């Protein structure tokens, strides 16, 4: 798979603070890459360096296998901070200003407004837009040059649930069109829903990088209950399915042994005449992973 971005040992210091510390990262073409981290972990500084608005102290990064800088910028669309538009101008006229700056044909304006669902509101002044519409206009603006890569810093910040869902759907659509998306977020659930890959930053250091899909592989933690808890407890003690188990209320929490499938476990229960009234598979959510990582790093 082709990489659109390779970061090597990228570092940024602000006085005594090391905002980004020897960061190595690889982003594959077509991925939706989430950069996760608590406040102040270096997400925005990283994106700033990647876009050339923050100077690195050391290290390097390479876009599109080493494409020249002036060509790179046209291939990337970015929203770094709150959208910056003229309040009294309409959405269309605001995009005309951006198109002029970016030297993009104005015929793209209707295309991108349609893309973000704002075509019918293109004559409304920006000041009358809701927060969600303002954010969608910012995405439209970033789309003017039809970029292959979109960089989004906290794209759903401050939005209501509907606004969040709209932006989420839009990001998924943009990814389905084949664009690579890099987004910084602290909304773990959003990253889990949108992203294919993620990295976790803490105090400027990358403490994890992985695929979101792999989180769902970890289906070994199971909670079970039965109308006959003694029989269930005896099964869990005697059978070779549970690596460990403990009683919790009227149910049992257990870790299946490595390699044991939930279907094998369930079949064996039925064969032993045990009928479950509860079976819950606790998948490893990004939130659990994130909290575990931050905890293990701060204990290290
Ligand atoms: N211009 C600056 N001058 C001094 N320190 C800065 C500057 N920009 C960022 N920092 C510091 O660098 C560190 C990383 O900040 P950064 O904004 O990159 O983190 P972040 O993960 O994006 O945080 P948030 O989620 O709060 O936006 C923080 O300690 C921050 O205070």
| Any domain includes 140 | yes
Tell me: the pLDDT tens digits for 69-87?
778 888 999 987 766 899 9
What number of other Cβ atoms are within 10 A of residue 98's Cβ?
20
Q: Are residues 164 and 190 in the same domain?
A: yes
Say what the pLDDT of residue 70 is.
75
Q: Which domain holds residue 252?
A: 221-282
Chain center to CA of 129:
26
Pocket lined around ligand 1, Cβ cut-off 6 Å: 14, 17, 19, 37, 39-45, 186
Q: Are residues 250 and 133 in the same domain?
A: no
Bridge partners (DSSP) listed for residue 211: 197
| Any domain includes 289 | no
DSSP 130: -
Gap from CA of 6 to ligand 1 centroid (Å): 22
Q: Are residues 95 and 229 in the same domain?
A: no
| Any domain includes 297 | no
Q: What is the Cα–Cα distance from 251 to 224, expressed in whole angstroms?
A: 6
| Any domain includes 298 | no
Ligand 1: which atom is nearest the Cα of residue 47?
A: 18
Q: Examine the fold and report which residue of 215, 248, 274 is the final residue of a domain before the chain moves on.
A: 215
Asked whether the beta carbons of 78 and 150 are under 8 A apart, the reply is yes
Mean pLDDT of 35-45: 92
Q: Are residues 176 and 227 in the same domain?
A: no
Residue predicted with more confidence, 231 or 293: 231
Say what the pLDDT of residue 300 is.
60
Q: Are residues 183 and 277 in the same domain?
A: no
How far apart, in Å, do the first and last CA atoms of the chain sit?
34
Question: Has residue 32 got a pLDDT over 60?
Answer: yes
Q: Are residues 140 and 155 in the same domain?
A: yes
Q: Are residues 206 and 268 in the same domain?
A: no
Q: What is the Cα–Cα distance from 170 to 156, expressed in whole angstroms?
A: 11
Q: What is the Cα–Cα distance from 181 to 193, expressed in whole angstroms?
A: 14
Q: Are residues 68 and 48 in the same domain?
A: yes
Q: Which of 208, 203, 139 is CA-nearest to residue 177?
A: 139
- CATH number (domain holding residue 147): 3.40.50.300
Ligand 1: which atom is nearest the Cα of residue 204?
A: 14
Structural tokens at position 185: 């977020």
Please report, rounded to a whole number, the percentage of residues in the chain having pLDDT higher than 90: 61
Q: Are residues 144 and 249 in the same domain?
A: no
Ligand 1: which atom is nearest the Cα of residue 15?
A: 4
Domain count, the chain: 2
Gap from CA of 58 to ligand 1 centroid (Å): 17
Say what the pLDDT of residue 250 is.
86
Say what the pLDDT of residue 299 is.
63
| Any domain includes 47 | yes
Q: What is the Cα–Cα distance from 18 to 13, expressed in whole angstroms?
A: 4
- CATH number (domain holding residue 275): 3.30.70
Query: Using CA of residue 227, residue 228, residue 230, residue 236, what is the dihedral sign?
Result: negative
Q: Examine the fold and report which residue of 215, 248, 269 is the final residue of a domain before the chain moves on.
A: 215
> Hey, whose CA ends up nearest to atom 5 of ligand 1?
14
Gap from CA of 51 to ligand 1 centroid (Å): 16
> Hey, whose CA ends up nearest to atom 18 of ligand 1?
42
Q: Examine the fold and report which residue of 174, 189, 215 is the final residue of a domain before the chain moves on.
A: 215
Gap from CA of 205 to ligand 1 centroid (Å): 13
> Hey, whose CA ends up nearest to atom 2 of ligand 1?
14
> Hey, whose CA ends up nearest to atom 16 of ligand 1?
42
| Any domain includes 290 | no
Q: What is the Cα–Cα distance from 63 to 7, expressed in whole angstroms?
A: 9
| Any domain includes 299 | no
Question: Has residue 298 got a pLDDT over 80?
Answer: no
| Any domain includes 256 | yes
Q: Are residues 121 and 259 in the same domain?
A: no
pTM, full prediction: 0.80
Collapsing DSSP states into helix, strand and coil, what is residue 143?
Answer: helix
Q: Are residues 255 and 158 in the same domain?
A: no
Q: Are residues 141 and 196 in the same domain?
A: yes
> Hey, whose CA ends up nearest to atom 4 of ligand 1?
14
């Amino acid at each position: 798979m082709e990489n659109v971005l390779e970061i090597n040992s990228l570092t940024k210091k602000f006085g005594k603070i090391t905002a980004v510390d020897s960061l190595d990262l690889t982003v594959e073409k077509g991925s939706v890459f989430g950069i996760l981290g608590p406040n102040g972990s270096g997400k925005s500084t990283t994106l700033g360096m990647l876009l050339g608005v923050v100077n690195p102290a050391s290290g390097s990064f390479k876009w599109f296998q080493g494409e020249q800088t002036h060509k790179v910028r046209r291939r990337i669309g970015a929203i770094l901070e709150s959208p910056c538009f003229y309040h009294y101008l309409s959405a269309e006229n605001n995009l005309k200003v951006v198109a002029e700056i970016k030297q993009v044909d104005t015929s793209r304006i209707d295309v991108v407004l349609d893309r973000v669902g704002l075509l019918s509101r293109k004559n409304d002044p920006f000041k009358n837009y809701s927060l969600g519409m303002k954010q969608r206009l910012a995405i439209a603006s970033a789309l003017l040059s039809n970029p292959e890569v979109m960089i989004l810093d906290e794209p759903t910040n401050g939005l209501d649930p509907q606004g969040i869902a709209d932006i989420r759907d839009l990001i998924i659509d943009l990814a389905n069109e084949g664009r690579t998306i890099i987004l910084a977020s602290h909304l773990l659930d959003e990253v889990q829903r949108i992203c294919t890959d993620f990295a976790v930053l803490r105090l400027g250091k990358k403490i994890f990088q992985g695929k979101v899909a792999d989180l769902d592989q970890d289906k070994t933690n199971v909670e079970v209950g039965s109308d006959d808890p003694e029989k269930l407890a005896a099964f869990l003690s005697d059978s070779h399915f549970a690596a460990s188990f403990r009683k919790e209320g009227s149910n049992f929490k257990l870790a299946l042994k490595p390699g044991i499938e939930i279907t094998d476990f369930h079949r064996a229960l039925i064969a032993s005449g045990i009928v479950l009234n509860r079976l819950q598979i606790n998948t490893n959510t990004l939130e659990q992973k994130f909290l575990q990582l931050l905890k293990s790093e701060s204990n290290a």
